[in-house]
Amino acid sequence: MKQVKKSSTTHVSVSLRIRREILAWFWVGFLFLLINGTIGQARVIPSGSMEKTLLVGDHLIMSRVGYDAGLPFTNWHVPLWRNPQRQQMVIFKPPYAPNQTDLVKRVIGMPGDLVDLHNGAVWINGHTLAEPYTTGPTEPAPSGYSPAGLAAIAFPYRVPENCYFAMGDNRGNSYDSRFWGCVPRPDIIGTPVMIYMSLDANSDAWEPGQIRERILAYGNALLHPGTVRWHRLLHTF
Query: What pLDDT, in 10s, does the model give residues 147-166?
Result: 556 677 899 999 999 999 99
For residue 12, what are the CA distances in angstroms to 3, 5, 8, 16? 14, 11, 6, 6
Does residue 11 have a pLDDT over 70? no
Does residue 1 have a pLDDT over 60? no
Rounded CA-CA distance 122/176 in Å is 14
SS3 237: coil
Residue ranges of domains in the chain: 1-37, 39-236
Q: What percentage of the chain has pLDDT greater than the value 70?
A: 80
- CA terminus-to-terminus distance, the chain: 69
Query: What pLDDT, in 10s, does the model give residues 112-145?
Result: 999 999 999 999 999 999 999 999 999 998 766 5
* 39-236 topology per CATH: Umud Fragment, subunit A (2.10.109)
Model confidence, pTM: 0.79
Query: What pLDDT, in 10s, does the model give residues 41-72?
Result: 778 999 999 999 999 999 998 988 888 777 66
Partners of 59 in the β-ladder: 44, 197
- pLDDT range class, residue 215, cuts 50, 70, 90: very high
Rounded CA-CA distance 93/68 in Å is 12
pLDDT of residue 98: 80
Residues with catalytic roles? 49, 105
Q: What percentage of the chain has pLDDT greater than the value 90?
A: 60
Question: Rounded to the nearest 5°, which phi and psi values hold at 67?
Answer: -95, -40
Parallel, antiparallel or unpaired: strands 121-124 and 68-70: unpaired
